[in-house]
Amino acid sequence: MSIDSVFVHKMWNDKELSKMVEGGVPFPMLSDAGGRVGKVFGVFDEDAGVEARGRFIIDPEGVVQGYEVLTPPVGRNVNETIRQVQAFQLVRESKGKEATPSGWRPGKATLRPGPELVGKVWKEWKTEMAFD
Amino acid sequence: MAEEMEIGCARPTGGPVGEAVDEQVANETKPIREVAPMIQVGKKAPDFAAPAYQQGKFVSVKLSEYLGKWVLLCFYPGDFTFV
């Protein structure tokens, strides 16, 4: 979503993005002229008249599980976004019984929060697990 | 004379120049309604509808139509910038 019109979205997709992604962008490219949606999400910069690089993960209930907002010059880490979605999906599938500690990625150990885990995280999780 | 601009990552914009409008006058004409950001993790995302371009078609998208699915909503400064 950006403040550009759907016509500009079409030109960007057809003239440039389709050269990077076969078949072009598969998902809807949303237009927010005037930044009204961006204002509600807290990413619209009134002075510049544009939206910051905001990214919101919204679950099947419509609940915001996480977000990240960056100023324009720095791009996002798509891998990290996908990792977070995978982590939230795992937590949801376990009905909240499992949690993903720092550094978790698919295949790595999860934690089962509860009275037995209190004071015992050091046995289950080592500092080096925070890093790839 | 028009000056050549340095183009960065944000869409260049203009605005009124010259003397600032008297603040009192500006305040009087300002609408009282202010939209406060209302995003909090663990809380519902505000619903919205927006026009969109998708695969050769112009469509209208409503966030609540995606209930039951995971949604990644991304904002960016402008087309023809990196994402």
Task: Indicate yes or no: CB of B75 within 8 angstroms of CB of A48.
Answer: no
Share of chain B above pLDDT 90, in %: 51
Domain ranges for chain A: 1-51, 71-132
Mean pLDDT of chain B: 80
Res B30 pLDDT > 80: no
Q: What would the pLDDT profile of A90-126 be if each residue is shown by its tens digit?
A: 999 999 999 999 999 999 999 998 888 889 888 888 8
- The CA distance from A102 to A126, in Å, is 10
Residue B2 is predicted with a pLDDT of 80
Task: Return residues 14-73 of A near B (CB < 8 Å).
Answer: 16, 23-32, 36-43, 48-67, 72-73
pTM assigned to the model: 0.84
Domain ranges for chain B: 47-76
User: Stretch B28-56: mean pLDDT, rounded?
Assistant: 82
Chain B residue with minimal CA distance to A70? B76
Chain B residue with minimal CA distance to A63? B44
- The CA distance from A95 to A89, in Å, is 10
Mean pLDDT of chain A: 94
Q: What would the pLDDT profile of A10-67 be if each residue is shown by its tens digit?
A: 999 999 999 999 999 999 999 999 999 999 999 999 999 999 999 999 999 999 999 9
Res B80 pLDDT > 80: yes
Task: Indicate yes or no: CB of A27 within 8 angstroms of CB of B54.
Answer: yes
Residue B3 is predicted with a pLDDT of 75
> Would you call A64 helix, strand, or coil by DSSP?
strand
**Which residues of B fall within a CB distance of 8 Å from A54?**
73-75
Q: Which of A10, A20, A50 to mutate to test the interface with B (most CBs of B within 10 A)?
A: A50
Residue A47 is predicted with a pLDDT of 92
- The CA distance from A53 to B74, in Å, is 7
Distance (Å) from the C-alpha of residue A49 to the closest C-alpha of chain B? 7
Res B33 pLDDT > 70: no
Q: Are B51 and A6 in contact (CB under 8 A)?
A: yes
Residue A18 is predicted with a pLDDT of 96
Burial (CB count <10 Å: 0-12, 13-18, 19+), residue A59: buried
